[in-house]
């Protein structure tokens, strides 16, 4: 399995998509087992994304402190907790015959 990562605009479109049909329980179970069986393949990308988000958060925090005129105090840092928690798995399939 070689994952293909979508750009954020494509993801937004999928999140707004309406289902056109249901997948039968056996197929759904099969696809989910396939995905769960390959989570180790996805983990490096998910960890890089978590590190990137942590860096963005740190930079935003520093901007706010600069704008507020804050000086001194503790050193700013963000400690990313790895591996990231997965709160949901979504599998989007094309419409049959579409």
More confident residue, 85 or 97: 85
More confident residue, 21 or 52: 52
Taking a C-beta distance cutoff of 8 angstroms, is the pair 3, 40 a contact? no
Give how many domains the chain has, as a whole number.
1
In a domain, 89, yes or no: no
In a domain, 77, yes or no: no
pLDDT at 98: 58
Lowest pLDDT segment from 24-33, 40-49, 87-96: 87-96
In a domain, 62, yes or no: yes
Distance CA(87)–CA(34), nearest Å, equals 17
In a domain, 4, yes or no: no
In a domain, 2, yes or no: no
In a domain, 54, yes or no: yes
- Domain of 49 in residue numbering reads as 23-68
In a domain, 40, yes or no: yes
In a domain, 34, yes or no: yes
pLDDT at 87: 92
């Amino acid at each position: 399995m070689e994952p293909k990562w979508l750009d954020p605009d494509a993801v937004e479109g999928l999140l707004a998509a309406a289902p056109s049909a249901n997948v039968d329980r056996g197929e759904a179970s099969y696809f989910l087992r396939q995905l769960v069986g390959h989570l180790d393949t996805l983990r490096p990308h998910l960890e890089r994304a978590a590190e990137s988000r942590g860096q963005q958060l740190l930079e935003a925090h520093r901007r706010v402190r600069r704008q507020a005129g804050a000086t001194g105090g503790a050193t700013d840092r963000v400690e990313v907790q790895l591996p990231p928690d997965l709160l949901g798995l979504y599998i989007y399939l094309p419409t049959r015959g579409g």
